[in-house]
Chains A and B, each alone.
Chain A
Amino acid sequence: MGGNFAWVMIGCALIGAGASAVGVFSFLRKQALVGDAVAHALLPGVVLAFMFTGEKDIWFLFPGAFVAGWLGLLSIDLISKNSKIKPDTAIAIVLTVFFAIGIVLLTHVQQSNYGNQSGLEAFLFGKAAAMLPADITLFVTVDIALILLIVLTYRYLKLYSFDPDFAKAIGLPVKLIQFILSSLTVLAVASGIQAVGVVLMAALIITPAAAARFFTGRLSHMIILAMVIGIISSLIGVYISSLAVSMPTGPWIVMVLSIIAIMAFVFAPRKGMLQRSRKRKTHQVKIRRENLLKLFYSLEEKKQKQFYTRPQLLRSRRFRGRELELLLNRLLKKGLLQKQENRYGLTEKGRSEATRVVRLHRLWELYLNERMNIAPDHVHHDAEAIEHIITPELERELLKDLGYPELDPHHSEIPGIKGMQR
């Protein structure tokens, strides 16, 4: 293996890079499935090229694949434009019909006497190690060419993907741009037929883009990141599949790719599941904390007394399990509560925080009542939720809008308004 193996790795890295870069545009244009249809549509082209030339040389098979891929694309277009069939159905039809024809032809070739037909089935699931140096040269050339084409036409591809109508409105040659994008897709998919196989090639188009979107909001960064993900998974996939003799490459590349995508989905900063659930949790804790402070405030208002025992607190509001104890400890630590023997009370800092929450609650009740005409006995529950979300800027706006009111719809005082700067 040695030198050839290194060459195979380089080839696969470039195939991964090319497909991932092109895939970003398919992903953004919501054409994920088109890539899959094109990949499956390649098969009859490959087999027919073999039947006509009798050669397994990729320099003959590749043009066959390219033409078949284009025919697949055109068929999708023709069907959805000239019939009542919607694009998603057209894609499914083309994918299955072309693939079925491919399989029929493949079986026919294998059962008749075409000479060196063995190994043709490697185009289904890919066999990277079977690539000869001459094959790799072709794929490397194709992928470098398509990456260059993306770099050169980047701005136009970007504009067209975001707003095709505007592209047309300013007189850009949208038909040409569309043609370039379609050719890029077909070329990228076709360059993976031998290493990845037609069945799974679509994964290299879509998954890197989908994973990269979690990490960045810039198109250029997204393309680079998708390419890195595509390269890494191709390399690892090829390496693993090379460990056993008859292991196909495609499934392994897809396995690695999927693991990376799932990790992105879970762990990505800001958009990942973990971060989002952590955010939700912080909000929940904040809401509980503010609610307990409010409880102290209203008890003070009613009973004119600063300190309360835990059973007294439990009688005024329901808490789950050890929730109250945990909350009390947290608030003590933050200096919002103080403790005298077994009784708890607000500190100065705690009172001003509680005042703020109560003020927001009553302001929102008033807003609902006055601006949205909701009856006073219906506003409490809504305000319970909204009081925690209102930011200082929104509070200022509310105050201005309501004219610095001093009473809420239940005629309780809205605290902290008197003497406020207007």
Chain B
Amino acid sequence: MIAFEAHNLTVSYDKQPVLWDIDFEIPEGKLVGIIGPNGSGKTTLLKAAMGILEADSGYVKVFEKNPDKVRERLGYVPQRQSVDWDFPATVMDITMMGRYRKGRLFGRLSKTDKEIAVDSLKRVGMYDYRNRQISELSGGQQQRVFIARSLAQQADVYLMDEPFVGIDAASEESILNILQEMRSSGKTVIMVHHDLHTALEFFDWVILLNTRLVAAGPKEEVLTEENLRTAYGGKLNVLSRIADLIKSKEYPIREKDMKE
């Protein structure tokens, strides 16, 4: 089954298009890396997939359905630096957020929800820290709490934004173990990743991006020298000039009625 599909996805950030006509499919149960140079639209792709950013055109499907219809099957780990870790909350508070659901009146949570959160914390090795202030955690521990929160979502497809950036060896190992576990239980994990070398090792599937899709598919097919040279050899000159033009002249990126 197709776990995730992007169809002709075009997305702008601050009125400037950063993703052009992205089109790919990901089968269920794969560990997928989104790879590309800085500013190639990796985070934007993830945010558009989660519905945080609105697409200019095209759409995303999860298990062949509109993501809004299958929200509880989608787990999300944002970039660690996207939040203020000085926020007054404990590790347990944050993990419990993974149990919040739309439509639950006033966000009431049950005992089962708590058990699920506790279990998620144990899996990332942060249970002993459950009453710790999140401001007192190291970067790696913060990342593990974010992973625990997504585990508590009990989803089938997980989107993670650079979970390996700036973390210690122990956290890295813990997260790697979790990823293996997830893969063997048939979950699909789609992850923005910055390091090409490790990508070769542990992903099954790779999406190579540089504002447009360079290649997507099994890693052996995608990570060829030619593809990498295309992806990392700089932006397409004309394409980025057009993007600049769209921003400065306030052109619409698509005609309104083209939107699905």
Contact digits for B96-122, partner A, Cβ 8 Å, 1 yes 0 no: 010011100011010000000000000
Main secondary structure of the interface of A (DSSP, over half): helix
Cβ–Cβ contact B87 & A171, under 8 A: no
A163, A213, A218, A219, most chain B CB atoms within 10 A:
A163
Cβ–Cβ contact B82 & A218, under 8 A: no
In B146-205, the 8 Å CB interface with A consists of 149, 153
A165 at the interface (CB under 8 A from B): yes
Contacting residue for A169 out of B76, B88, B90, CB 8 A? B76
User: With A153-B107, A171-B102, A172-B102 in contact, do A166 and B76 touch (Cβ < 8 Å)?
Assistant: yes
Residue in A closest to B70 when the chains form the complex, CB atoms: A171
Contacting residue for A222 out of B71, B83, B88, CB 8 A? B88
CA of A163 to CA of B78, assembled, Å? 9
A156 at the interface (CB under 8 A from B): yes
Cβ–Cβ contact A165 & B47, under 8 A: yes
Instruction: Point out the residues of chain A lying under 8 angstroms from B107, CB to CB.
Output: 153-156, 159
Residue in B closest to A168 when the chains form the complex, CB atoms: B52
User: With A161-B87, A213-B88 in contact, do A169 and B97 touch (Cβ < 8 Å)?
Assistant: no
CA of A326 to CA of B81, assembled, Å? 47
Main secondary structure of the interface of B (DSSP, over half): mixed
Contacting residue for B89 out of A30, A152, A158, A170, CB 8 A? A158
Cβ–Cβ contact A216 & B88, under 8 A: yes
Cβ–Cβ contact A170 & B88, under 8 A: no
B214 at the interface (CB under 8 A from A): no
Contact digits for A257-268, partner B, Cβ 8 Å, 1 yes 0 no: 000000000000
Interface residues on chain A, number (Cβ under 8 Å): 28
B94 at the interface (CB under 8 A from A): yes
In A108-167, the 8 Å CB interface with B consists of 152-156, 158-159, 161-163, 165-167
Residues of A within 8 A of B (CB): 28, 30, 152-156, 158-159, 161-163, 165-173, 213, 216-219, 221-222
Residues of B within 8 A of A (CB): 47, 50-52, 68, 71, 74, 76, 78, 82-84, 87-90, 93-94, 97, 100-102, 106-107, 109, 133, 135, 149, 153
Known: A155-B100, A162-B94, A171-B51. 9 other contacts (CB 8 A): A153-B106, A155-B109, A156-B100, A162-B83, A162-B89, A170-B71, A170-B100, A171-B71, A213-B88
